[in-house]
Amino acid sequence: IFVLVCALGITILIRGQRLDDRTQLGLEVLTGVFLLIYLLSNKEEYLYNVTMFYYLDRVHRKVTKSFVVAMLVTGILLQFVAPGQEAREFFIIYLIIAYLLISIKLILGRPLIKMLEEDRAPRTAFAGKKEEFIKFCYFLEKTSIPVKMIGYIAMKRDEYEADPEEYLGCLEDLEQ
């Protein structure tokens, strides 16, 4: 929401002075409709599911699909709300800025949030084999679940004794 509102503000700064008050109000309402359709389309794509795996290409494709759906619907409505050339130019510039800001947020947002929330994530130790731990961590990184992994615990003593530097300890040692 914040990104799309910022895009509207930037567009108003760039092209807003050329519009009369009625046309500008109509375009602001139209961008509100765009925002609503975009959010509902994202919800339909399950983008707000907290445990969804985050593959940047897949998320970007779903966001782009939602953006195109909202753009097409509001593009049709634009002809009725503000049919003038200035209004079309304003709306096209808004769409370009909005898509650029959304793409930047997708690329930079997740690493920034992970960096800022690193101290608040619960410390976690995993029990199991090292190979399973590595595979599990790969998938866990693709979710929105914040976890600070401190290591892994061997299920059996012989796994731990074979490679004590790799494990925090053995499951049998936790009872002590």
Q: What is the pLDDT of residues 66-111, one digit of tens each?
A: 999 999 999 999 888 878 888 888 899 999 999 999 999 888 877 7
Instruction: Kindly list the strands in the beta sheet with 169-170, ordered across the sheet, starting from the edge strand earlier in the chain.
Output: 123-127, 148-154, 169-170
The better pLDDT of the pair 116, 35 is held by: 35
pTM value surpassing 0.85: no
Of 119, 131, 118, 128, the C-alpha closest to 168 is 128
- Percent of the chain exceeding pLDDT 70 equals 86
**Mean pLDDT over residues 18-46, rounded?**
85
d(CA 83, CA 43): 30
Whether 57 has a pLDDT exceeding 90, the answer reads: no
What pLDDT score was predicted for residue 107? Answer: 83
Cα-based angle 10, 12, 15 (whole degrees, multiple of 5):
105
